Structure 1
Amino acid sequence: MALWLDGEVIENYAWNQELFSLRVRTEQPFEFIAGQFVRLGLAHEDGRVQRAYSLVNGPDDSVLDFLVNRVHDGLFSPMLHGLKAGQKIQVSQPPSGFFTLNEVPDGDSLWLIATGTGIGPYLSMLTTDIPYERFKRIHLIHAVRYSADLAYRDLIQSWVDKHLGQLQYQPIVSREDFAGALRGRVPALIESGALQAACKDELNDRAQVMLCGNPEMIRDAKVLLDSMGLPKNLRRKPGNVTVEHYW
């Protein structure tokens, strides 16, 4: 049974009009594995409203960080969007999910591919030493519609500078040109070889790929990667592609 912790909003940071980071401090710290998620809860006239969100912060951080996109016809994300510092929110315990690096087999390269807010779990992973100790090359790939949706760029760049030659950040922007970004859908960029060329690396049997975000991207990329000799990773049969269906 889930336990609900009382939390306080520390900051509601707007990346743009729809995308925001909600930062929360709970009454007591808790342990989680980078890549896991919790449920956020708010009081509502029909009872508690809740939804699962991945933790963006690292396991050692005292402030919890959640990357959220407001869905205008939804119920919960507009409520989160309107929260201000000092307001209360509930956080579920224990954390859940198996989209973690300890579920990923060893390899030479790690490809962290996300669309939209699906980048959240990867940012949590990259705060830890684990990916840098296990993989020679790490590619963080973030696909969005507009450049304004490329959240946490300064933080990511600081990690790239710290792990120069090991960590690479490759944005993909589908609806406008943006310096340094590829343009198009993730599966198409893989199929054409454009993503591999930009990353100066190969998607071969020594690559481990994680996919998080839009279900269509995951479905199409998974089928394509399987045809390239990179099967889905299962506990009973280890492979090369680990997925998280983010919504």
Structure 2
Amino acid sequence: MTADDPFTRQTLSDINVWSPSLFSLRCSRDPALRFRAGQFARLGVQKADGSTVWRAYSMVSAPHDEFLEFFSIVVPGGEFTSQLSGLSVGDELLVGKQAFGFLTLDRFVGGRDLWLLASGTGLAPFLSILGDFEAWQRFERIVLVYSARTDAELAYQPLIHGLAEQEHLAEYASKLTYLPVVTRAQVPGCLHGRITTLLRSGELEQAAGLALDPLHSRVMICGNPQMIDDTRGLLKERDLQLSLSRRPGQVAVENYW
């Protein structure tokens, strides 16, 4: 590695297998890497033939953390994830020197309530945002909606439920409403159905005890592209518009596939 390389070599310190198809990786962090909560980095793994495969992954870790953490699905036969899921603690992971992405709170002007709508590994950037101070200080209410196929695929439950116990967030704990969603089964304590179905029926807002409206609501969406497109369409019908640099709005998205 030389100073001109666009990446650094980091060491894996922890691997957490959430389900047969979901796992997370934690590695060392180059002190020079700076990012905003919600952004992503390019990760590289070397194949047996010596070539390197790169993919974009949102940070789970907060900007102030001394480590980097990433959340991944295993794609059967996938060129990248089959290599990534085979790594062990102590192995090397290539991490790009620059962070990218616009799923960040500076996309929004004003707003009272922050809605974070995630499916699958799209949860990652929202954990980074919830680990940072800005969202808690800026918004009166935060609603995290996390959708998975089964309750076994609802990852990071200890972290989510433990947010209120983190010393630097304890005073803000009452601001958070967490709504887990399971699509394939009825599970106690979870909403049942797709996020879009729950939006159409009004069940999501009822469960949150909060209305979605253009004046007060700011909405971030991350997950599979179909979920994002369908959810954006429903929000647009209610005059919640995509936030652009030339026209600030109420919705920000990241296609996490």
Match of 1:114 in 2: 118
Match of 1:130 in 2: 134
**Secondary structure of the equivalent of 2:173?**
coil
| Count of residue pairs brought into register by the alignment | 247
Displacement of 1:77 in angstroms is 0.6
Displacement of 1:76 in angstroms is 0.6
**Secondary structure of the equivalent of 2:193?**
coil
Residue 211 (str. 1) matches residue 215 (str. 2): no
Match of 1:195 in 2: 204
Q: State the alpha-carbon separation in 2 of the partners of residues 209 and 160 from structure 1.
A: 22
TM-score normalised over the length of structure 1: 0.96
Q: State the alpha-carbon separation in 1 of the partners of residues 248 and 106 from structure 2.
A: 12
Displacement of 1:27 in angstroms is 5.0
Is 2:28–2:67's contact at 8 Å kept on the other side of the alignment?
yes
Q: State the alpha-carbon separation in 2 of the partners of residues 132 and 62 from structure 1.
A: 21
Match of 2:184 among 175, 182, 207: 175
Q: Give 5+ residue unaligned stretches, structure 1.
A: none
**Secondary structure of the equivalent of 2:127?**
helix
Match of 1:11 in 2: 14
Displacement of 1:26 in angstroms is 3.8
Is 2:107–2:248's contact at 8 Å kept on the other side of the alignment?
no
Q: Stretches of 4+ moved more than 4 A in 1?
A: none
Is 1:172–1:181's contact at 8 Å kept on the other side of the alignment?
yes
Q: State the alpha-carbon separation in 2 of the partners of residues 191 and 98 from structure 1.
A: 27
Match of 1:77 among 78, 81, 99: 81
Aligned CA distance change for structure 1 residues 27 and 215 (closer, same or farther; 3 Å): closer
Q: Give 5+ residue unaligned stretches, structure 2.
A: none
Amino acid at match of 1:119: L
Is 1:230–1:241's contact at 8 Å kept on the other side of the alignment?
yes
Is 1:106–1:135's contact at 8 Å kept on the other side of the alignment?
no
Match of 2:36 in 1: 33
Q: CA RMSD in A?
A: 1.4
Identity within the alignment, %? 39
Displacement of 1:164 in angstroms is 3.5
CA deviations 1:148-189 (Å, max 9, x no partner) are 111111111122463333111100000112221111111110
Aligned CA distance change for structure 1 residues 132 and 26 (closer, same or farther; 3 Å): closer
TM-score normalised over the length of structure 2: 0.92
Match of 2:57 in 1: 53
Residue 42 (str. 1) matches residue 45 (str. 2): yes
Amino acid at match of 2:199: I
CA deviations 1:24-67 (Å, max 9, x no partner) are 11454521111111111112226211111000001111111000
